[in-house]
């Protein structure tokens, strides 16, 4: 842990682990919620289809045909199930796909309300269910309560979630490894100036260089300058020591030479030899000390076409059954060949939410108009969807607030307050916009304008 590179790599690894961990958790949650919401939207579409296909039989009971538009209802073990019950729980119809299975009855929703729930088959298979209780009025004037229910196995959904998580961990692990490898190479380049300083200091210690060079990054120029000042200071100090010793040696040599000459004139040879030996020793010591200071220091997506008139008819048929007690009168203005370029679910959300709100608040009349927003073939044009009613309308000062999730004008009316926000978001995803104004009959008139495909693409 004394290595700066190791510390940086470990710190970056911990940060990547925390960042990717949070990212994985957020993506997993978002993917799961989006997938479950998509499942709910699909179930809602299947439920509307069942409502549209239901018809009274000769026994004055509600019945469904043997063959439905959704083929999975007729395939055994397809994972999509549907059934129709009386209010007392008696099963009137169950899809062929549920042959041999017992769909749990669950909680009966409040009349006219959708109820999503997570339930399980007897073998433990998890299900996502959607129930709707309706009051059906027959031609003879009698009315009966029924519960429509659709259910879908979550095995494939859970498998998709598990596969997505595996891919998420695999990709993020690969990305983290790649980033650490790239960071190690980057760190190697960033540490190169420090290694250069280390090399030049070694050259100074070996006597191959007198000072550090000045070719360093801005952050290290100060360090190199201060090191050069320190080296110059030590060199000056060493020179002073050498000069001092040199002066000392020069001062000692003269008296030593005089002593030798004086002693040499004496006839006491034995004494002189010994004295001479000590003088030579002193001379050697001086020479050694003189040499020492002077010596160097070693060392997106393919868009499909949606048949507008057909889908609007299906929506209206379903809403007539849901709001049979109000019996709204629908005025439809849709070109027979009108087509919407986009996702079917998006169109159903756009038209379905607006029609549902209109039926909920109207006194009697609901008007829907869908026309191309550009000249030319309808399939290449945009769309202007307008839904109006003769209800109490929407105050102008409350229009902006209603486009926010959870906002409603009347809290006593059932709903979640997100319908118009969903419509606004979907319209925005196609480059369109939503406007609210008062209709000619005094109610609300909501218009969704979707630009032509070419314009939407150029805008994006």
Give the pLDDT score at 266: 55
Angle at 122 between CA 116 and CA 128, to 5 degrees: 20
Contact 342, 430 (CB under 8 A): yes
Give the pLDDT score at 274: 52
pLDDT tens digits along 26-39 = 998 898 889 889 98
Give the pLDDT score at 456: 41
pLDDT tens digits along 342-387 = 878 888 888 988 998 899 889 999 999 999 876 544 444 688 999 9
Instruction: Please give the share of the chain, as a percent, with pLDDT higher than 90.
Output: 11
pLDDT bin (cut points 50, 70, 90) of residue 460 is very low
Whether the predicted pLDDT of 391 surpasses 80: yes
The residue to which tokens 């000069």 are assigned:
243
DSSP H stretches of helix in 61-191: 155-190
Spatial strand order of the sheet with 126-137 comes to 91-94, 80-86, 143-153, 126-137, 114-120
Tally Cβ neighbours within 10 Å of residue 357.
Answer: 22
Question: Which has the closest alpha carbon to 134: 7, 319, 303, 363?
Answer: 319
Parallel, antiparallel, or unpaired: how do β-strands 62-63 and 55-56 relate?
A: antiparallel
pLDDT tens digits along 157-206 = 888 889 988 888 888 888 888 888 888 888 877 777 787 877 888 887 78
Give the pLDDT score at 58: 78
Burial 421-446 (b: 16+ CB within 10 A, else e): bbbbebbeebbbebebeebebebbbb
Give the pLDDT score at 379: 44
Whether the predicted pLDDT of 424 surpasses 80: yes
Instruction: Please give the share of the chain, as a percent, with pLDDT higher than 70.
Output: 77
Task: Kindly state the tokens that stand for 259.
Answer: 């002593």
pLDDT bin (cut points 50, 70, 90) of residue 415 is very low
Mean pLDDT of 243-267: 56
pLDDT bin (cut points 50, 70, 90) of residue 455 is very low
d(CA 384, CA 371): 5
Give the pLDDT score at 276: 64
Mean pLDDT of 254-268: 56
d(CA 399, CA 402): 5
d(CA 357, CA 244): 104
Give the pLDDT score at 457: 45
Question: Which has the closest alpha carbon to 383: 323, 456, 321, 319?
Answer: 456
Whether the predicted pLDDT of 448 surpasses 70: yes
pLDDT bin (cut points 50, 70, 90) of residue 150 is very high
Q: Choose between 392 and 454: higher pLDDT.
A: 392
Least confident range from 53-62, 125-134, 260-269, 431-440: namely 260-269
Mean pLDDT of 253-274: 56
d(CA 102, CA 150): 13
Task: Kindly state the tokens that stand for 401.
Answer: 């607030």
Task: Kindly state the tokens that stand for 197.
Answer: 């300083």
Least confident range from 62-76, 166-180, 221-235: namely 221-235
Average pLDDT, the chain: 79
Q: Choose between 102 and 260: higher pLDDT.
A: 102
The residue to which tokens 């538009």 are assigned:
69
d(CA 388, CA 148): 29
**Please, what is the angle between helix 155-190 and helix 192-205, to 10°?**
30
pLDDT tens digits along 306-344 = 899 999 998 898 888 788 888 899 999 998 888 888 878
Q: How many helices (H) and strands (E) does the chain have?
A: 10, 14
Give the pLDDT score at 298: 38
Task: Kindly state the tokens that stand for 402.
Answer: 């209603």
Q: Choose between 286 and 173: higher pLDDT.
A: 173
In this prediction the pTM is 0.40
């Amino acid at each position: 842990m004394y290595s700066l590179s190791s510390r940086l790599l470990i710190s970056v690894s911990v940060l990547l682990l925390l960042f990717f961990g949070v990212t994985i958790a957020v993506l997993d949650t978002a993917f799961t919620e989006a997938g479950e919401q998509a499942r709910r939207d699909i179930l809602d579409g299947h439920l509307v289809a069942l409502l549209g296909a239901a018809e009274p039989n000769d026994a004055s009971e509600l019945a469904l045909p043997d063959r439905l538009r959704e083929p999975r209802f007729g395939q055994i073990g397809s994972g999509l199930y549907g059934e129709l019950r009386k209010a007392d729980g008696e099963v009137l119809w169950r899809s062929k796909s549920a042959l041999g299975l017992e769909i749990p009855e669950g909680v009966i929703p409040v009349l006219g309300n959708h109820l999503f729930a997570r339930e399980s088959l007897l073998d433990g298979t998890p299900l996502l269910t959607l129930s709707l209780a309706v009051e059906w009025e027959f031609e003879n004037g009698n009315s009966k309560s029924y519960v429509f229910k659709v259910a879908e196995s979550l095995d494939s959904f859970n498998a998709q979630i598990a596969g997505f998580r595996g891919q998420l961990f695999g990709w993020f692990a690969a990305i983290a490894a790649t980033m650490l490898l790239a960071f190690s190479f980057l760190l190697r380049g960033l540490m190169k100036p420090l290694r250069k300083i280390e090399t030049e200091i070694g050259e100074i210690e070996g006597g191959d260089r007198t000072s550090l060079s000045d070719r360093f990054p801005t952050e290290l120029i100060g360090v190199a300058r201060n090191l050069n000042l320190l080296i110059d200071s030590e060199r000056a100090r060493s020179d002073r020591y050498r000069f001092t010793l040199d002066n000392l040696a020069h001062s000692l040599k003269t008296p030593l030479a005089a002593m030798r000459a004086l002693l040499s004139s004496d006839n006491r040879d034995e004494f002189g030899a010994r004295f001479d030996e000590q003088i030579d020793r002193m001379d050697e010591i001086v020479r050694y000390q003189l040499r020492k200071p002077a010596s160097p220091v070693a060392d997106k997506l393919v868009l499909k076409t949606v048949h507008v008139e057909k889908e609007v008819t299906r929506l209206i048929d379903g809403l007539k059954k849901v709001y049979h007690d109000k019996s709204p009168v629908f005025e439809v203005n849709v070109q027979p060949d009108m087509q919407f370029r986009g996702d079917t679910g998006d169109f159903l959300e756009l038209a379905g939410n607006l029609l549902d709100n209109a039926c909920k608040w109207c006194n009697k009349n609901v008007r829907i108009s869908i026309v191309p927003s550009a000249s030319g073939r309808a399939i290449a044009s945009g769309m202007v969807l307008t839904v109006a009613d003769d209800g109490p309308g929407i105050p102008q000062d409350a229009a902006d607030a209603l486009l926010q999730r959870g906002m409603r004008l009347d809290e006593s009316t059932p709903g979640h307050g997100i319908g118009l926000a969903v419509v606004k978001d979907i319209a925005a995803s196609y480059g369109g916009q939503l406007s609210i104004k008062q209709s000619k009959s005094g109610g609300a008139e909501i218009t969704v304008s979707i630009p032509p495909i070419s314009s939407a693409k150029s805008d994006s």
